[in-house]
Amino acid sequence: MDVLDNLTKKIDHLEEFPALPGVALKILEKIKDPNAPLCQLAEILATDPPLSAKVLMLVNSPYFGLRRKITNLPHAVNLLGEESLKYIALSFSLINLLGTDKKFFNYSLFWKESLTCAVICRLMAKDLDLPDAEDYYFLGLIHNIGKLALVRSYPRQYALVMDKVKKEGAEFHVAENEVLGCNHMEAGACLVNSWGLPEDFSLPILYHHYPHKVPDEHVSSLFRARIVSLSFEICLFLYADDKVLRLSMIKDMLQEYELAESIRLESLLQRAMDQITPLVPLFDLKLNTELDYLQILEDSKKELVKLSSSLTRKVKEQREQIATLSTLATQDGLTGLRNYQSFQDALDRELAGCQRYAHSSVLALADLDAFKSVNDGYGHLAGDRVLQEIARFFSENIRKSDIVARYGGEEFVFILSRTSVNAGLKILDRLRESLSRFQVEYRGQRISVSMSVGVTSFSSDATSKDELLRQADAAMYQAKNKGGNRTRLFRPFPTDGP
């Protein structure tokens, strides 16, 4: 099957995702080939004492429900089996990669929700007497890991994704498609595929929002995708605001998947919270202990009678239609300029034109100087207005043959087609000077903003988009480091000139 091969070609920046620790790589090797001549799991874990200690703490928690305390790893492995412990150990390794929360992305919340999905997946697998319940635990944990890959690979653009989710109520994968031209399902499938995990892991991740799209020949992946999708909806029910609609969708899914008799939601939630509550602190995460999940369920069920099942089916259909249409979108929602994906496509065409017709063009990256002071001093609504007016200013002051797009946050990118480097520098420097005199009126106040511009030139011998963007970015930071409000041409060995 070439689905994942095609995705890998589409998503080419996942090297930004942090490398897995050595212990995690060894555990992955055991997952891929349990018969490989590697040392036993207990010996692997013994090379990382802090990890070993956490695994033992979890083994003795209510998650496993053992009657007597386990004091060493070999005993734990013998009693519980490698199948259970290898995924638990890998979970600690992955969650240790969470890093520092970014202003726009909460890693702690991400892992708390992922851990909740993991526990729910495992419980459902056990209720259904599935032999690979621990696989389901790991699938629940990593089903959204593509988000981390995208956040780390496209940090500037993912801030725009989060903005769409927050302000427009968009689904994550819809917003990702609009801004990036790919989504976390695709990124996650590529990532676990690169780890060497089989398709029974990558395909459920790829289709967890739309299980019915799993290819017919992959029956086991279809069932896994359904369980992951169901656990995701249950997790959203616990943590999101639209609980009544979520509950209705869960009940519809249970009926559709013929699981309503096997999966009792009340019992599932009670057992899930019994396990999650002591489990979450072991991963250095915090759980909202003030929520009464069974009361939430009871209150939602009372409201559910007002909501018809036909309405929830209509909502699901609308979401899928929106997701499909979003892949065709080329416009940034706030500024009306081209979005990041549309710019990428335009740069591809420009590079192809340079190679075919042997002409030169200019790429420039511009960042508004000290824009945080606008948001802090006037408010975020004022900041949005300034971005909109500056976008209009750019559109009105560049040539019709040129392209301007929103690159991320307060950054913009320009393509000056069939333009020499000297001509491009003059055009962009005039634009910079004009912007420094431009004022935006907002509630009786005039707001001025300047920008720093990094410029690079390319022709038929251009190396790659990534290298051109790196050059423009480096030149832009040279301009900022000189005080801002200036234009700089990329030079491999910058001088200390003005």
User: What is the tens place of the pLDDT at every residue in 353-392?
Assistant: 888 878 899 999 999 999 999 999 999 999 999 999 999 9
Strand segments, DSSP code E, in 374-491 are: 403-408, 411-416, 439-442, 445-448, 451-458, 487-489
What confidence tier does 95 reach under pLDDT thresholds 50, 70, 90?
confident
For 412, the enclosing helix (H) or strand (E) is strand 411-416
Cα torsion 96, 101, 106, 108: sign: positive
Q: Considering only CA atoms, which of 172, 164, 181, 173 is closest in space to residue 328?
A: 181
The secondary structure of residue 282, as a DSSP letter, is G
Read off the pLDDT of residues 393-419 as tens digits, 9 standing for 90 and up: 999 999 888 999 999 999 999 999 999
Residue spans per domain, the chain = 3-18+97-324, 340-489
SS3 453: strand
| Dihedral pair phi/psi, residue 163, rounded to 5° | -65, -40
Structure-model confidence comparison of residues 86 and 303, the more confident one? 86
Cα–Cα distance measured from residue 484 to residue 478, given in angstroms and rounded to the nearest whole number: 9
> Which of 226-240, 268-282, 339-353 has the lowest average pLDDT?
268-282
What's the mean pLDDT in 113-121?
91
Name residues whose C-beta falls within 8 Å of residue 451's C-beta, 6 or more positions apart in sequence: 366, 367, 368, 369, 412, 432, 435, 436, 484, 485
Q: Check: CB of residue 151 under 8 Å from CB of residue 176.
A: no
Give the model confidence (pLDDT) of 445-474 as tens digits: 999 999 999 999 998 787 788 899 999 999
Least Cα distance to 405 among 171, 174, 102, 156 occurs for: 156
Architecture of domain 340-489: 2-Layer Sandwich (3.30)
pLDDT surpassing 80 at residue 348 = yes
Domains 3-18+97-324 and 340-489 belong to one CATH topology = no
- Residue 469's nearest CA partner among 363, 369, 367 is 363
Tokens of 445: 């106040």
Q: What is the mean pLDDT of residues 172-195?
A: 87
Q: How far is CA 430 from the centre of its chain?
A: 38
- Return the pLDDT at 17: 58
Q: Are 111 and 100 in contact (CB under 8 A)?
A: no
The CATH number given to 3-18+97-324 is 1.10.3210.10
Supply the pLDDT for residue 27.
77
H helices of 207-292, in order, are: 219-239, 243-256, 265-279
Nearest to 435 by CA among 490, 471, 396: 396
| Mean pLDDT calculated for residue range 248-267 | 88
- 404 - beta bridge partners? 414
